[in-house]
Structures are given as structure tokens and as C-alpha cells.
Amino acid sequence: MAEPFPPFSTPPVPTTPQIAPSPGVPPLMAVLWPPPAVAEFHPPLRPNFGHIGKPIFLRANHFQVKIPNCCLYHYDITITPDKCPRKVNREIIEVLVNTHKEFFGQQKPVFDGRKNLYSKKALPIGRERIEVNISLPGGDSRDRSFTVSMKAVAKVDLELLERVLRGEQMEMPFESIQALDVVLRHLPSMRYTPVGRSFFSQPEGDPYLLGNGREVWFGFHQSIRPSQWKMMLNIDVSATAFYKQQPVLQFLCELLELGSIEEQRRPLSDSQRVKFSKEIKGLKVEVTHTGPIRRKYRVCNVTRRPASAQTFPLTVESGDTYDCSVVQYFKEKHKLDMRFPYLPCLQVGQERKHTYLPLEVSHTPFLTSHFSSSILYVRTYPSSVTKFPCVY
């Protein structure tokens, strides 16, 4: 067991030393010597409350935050491999907290998805960096291994914020504001889909369609900031565009304005292929031909040749390599007869690896955001959405 977490101490506020006035200082100036270090802050008093006119109710989307008189313990987190999205990083930390009670006990620390973790009590890991191995179940039935390293950084005293708001201290403790922001964003990040500083959920009922396979998701934006005399949490509505969850063939139909894919009975023209490639390149798709295991890939290109003519080097058990068409491979390997062999394929992953997917076995998952200029046409929110983040 590592040594217990050593106590942190808040550095004392520097004071101006008492220096005797220099020779030659006039007697009147000597009365004011030495000059004060920092003038004490006194906010102006409110002159009165309004009483003329008719009282009205106001809706506000600012909420006062009551800061507890406590400290938070800040830890630096490094996850290897280090190119995982925030969602995966949060899953890794959640497994770490649930499986290593010797560090966390019954604590529920908060994590920003990248580098910063905060706990209410000090963890018994000392000041040295420690490493822990974590496994996550993979989508292809194979576990993924990660290494999480933790190191104590600082003790964050939230009382410093109260001192600033009371006028007892002039320097704003931004590390305390950052810690509160991570605390307030932790739970929404686990329940909703975060995009930037906003959170979104899949729409219920009839969605707002933007065309080209996209729809509007409504959500909320939150931000904690110091006001003149107290901390305030601002919550406001926000909206962004997401690609719909649908087969890639249906996505192609919406782009080409087709009633059904049956209307496209020949290979795509150059203009159609360029339009399709522009929209789908960079998106993630998942395959549907492998049963319950649906692996995801990122699209890097759209082939010029149809699936019946698109080939790639295939190495057989004997060690020989030959050019195999995509249609032939799916027929022999997966027992699938392509219904649309004249349509192009999606090239996924790295271009040098020659991984091709027919359109009919590809699906666009819904967790793909797309910031579009079309969103400007739906910024007039329904009244129920506008009132959502407000209180009387």
C-alpha cells in the first residue's frame, strides 16, 4: 500500500512589509506610510428596491451556485493508447473506479474525458505517478487493454472563490472554477451526447429534417461563471445537426433525391459519385453482415469502380496472392449475393490497406454530428424548448 496522500497547504496571501519612511518624507506623507498592499473591496450598496408599477414575473436561465466550504483533490490522468475519444476515456475511468476500490473506496470522482480527475477525498497513492491496467470489452468479442497512470497535482480550495466574491481577495482562482466546471459537466457527459460545450439527446417523435441525411437535435449549453457577488450557472438551449441512423443506401437516395434505390439501375455518374463522396467521406459507418458484432470504420474514399469490378489483393491459405473482386469475396467469405453490384464501394480505414465495403452492408450510426449552415433555418425554437432551461 502506497503512503497516504500528503497534506496540501494553501500558500499564504503575501503582505506588504512594514518599511520605515525614507528620510526626507514630509510629515503628512509619513502618516500614510507605508502604502496599503491591496485596497479592501467594498461593492456599492443597492439604493432601493423598485415599487412603482405592476410587478411581473421574469424567466431567467441563470442559477446561483452555492459553493461548499471544502477542497477537491486534482489528479493528472494519462491513458495509453492516447487517441481514444472522450466517451471511451470516460468508460475506462468508470471501470477503474469500480474495480479498484483500494484507491477510490466509495468515492465517485469526476473526469473531464481527457486529463483531469477530481475527488472529494485524497487518494492513497502518494505523490508518485502510479499505473493501472484496465480492460474494456471490444465490439468484436476481444477485450481492449489500456494503461491508466495517475499523479497528484494540487489541492483545490473552493473557499478561495468565496473570498474573491466577498471582496477579501482580488486574484481570481481559475483552477477552482475549472474544477467546478468539470463537476457540473460530468453527469451530463455520461447521460447525453456532448458536442463542444453543449449536450444533446436523440429527438423523440417527428424529427426536424434538414435533408441530405441530416436532422436537428436540440440540447442545452451550460457554463459556470463568477458574477459580481456570487457564482452563477448559465443554461441555454442549443441545436446542431446529426446524421440520421439509417442504411447507407437510404443515405444515398436522399442525396440523389431518389424515391428508392431501385431507381438507380446503373453505376453512378462522376457528378453523383463526387457529391456522395463529399458527404460521406470522414463519417463513421458500421457493418451489418457480421451478426451482432457490428464493427465501425471511418470512410476515407468512395471507389470509382463498382463493387463487381473493384479488386484487392487477397492472400489465401497456401500463401498465394491474387486479385479478388469485392462481390466475389462477399459471396465466398460471407455467403452474400450483392443486390447492387453496379454501385461503388466505401473505402474505409487507411487507404493503403485496401479495405472496401459494399454500400448495402453499411449503416450510418446516429452519433455523428455535422455542423451545417442549414441549422440557421431551425433556430426559432418551439416554446416548450425555449422554456426548458428557465425558472421563474
Residue 48 within any structural domain of the chain: no
> What is the domain count for the chain?
3
Query: Is the same domain home to 329 and 285?
Result: yes
Residue 34 within any structural domain of the chain: no
Q: Residue 272's domain spans which residues? A: 247-365
Query: In a 10 Å sphere around its CB, with 0-12 CB exposed, 13-18 middle and 19+ buried, how is residue 336 labelled?
Result: middle
Q: What is the mean pLDDT of residues 253-282?
A: 92
Where is pLDDT greater, at 190 or 40?
Answer: 190
Query: Is the same domain home to 179 and 149?
Result: yes
Whether 1 shows a pLDDT value over 50: the answer reads: no
Residue 10 within any structural domain of the chain: no
Q: Which of 112-121, 201-210, 335-344 has the lowest mean pLDDT?
A: 201-210
Query: Is the same domain home to 148 and 223?
Result: no
Query: Is the same domain home to 297 and 345?
Result: yes
Query: Is the same domain home to 264 and 234?
Result: no
pLDDT band at 29 (very low <50, low <70, confident <90, very high): very low
Asked if residues 224 and 232 have their Cβ atoms less than 8 Å apart, the reply is: yes
Q: What is the mean pLDDT of residues 323-335?
A: 93
pLDDT band at 188 (very low <50, low <70, confident <90, very high): very high
pLDDT band at 354 (very low <50, low <70, confident <90, very high): confident
Q: What is the mean pLDDT of residues 80-90?
A: 90
DSSP 179: H
* CA atoms lying within 13 Å on the CB side of residue 289: 15
pLDDT band at 90 (very low <50, low <70, confident <90, very high): very high
Query: Is the same domain home to 266 and 213?
Result: no
In a 3-state reduction of DSSP, which class is residue 379?
Answer: coil
Residue 359: name the closest of 265, 261, 271 by CA.
261
Return the number of other C-beta atoms located less than 10 Å from residue 156's C-beta.
22
Q: How far is residue 113 from each of residues 78, 109, 122, 129, 341, measured CA to CA in Å?
A: 11, 12, 20, 19, 43
Whether 373 shows a pLDDT value over 50: the answer reads: no
C-alpha cell recorded at residue 203: 429527438
Query: Is the same domain home to 267 and 168?
Result: no
pLDDT band at 228 (very low <50, low <70, confident <90, very high): confident
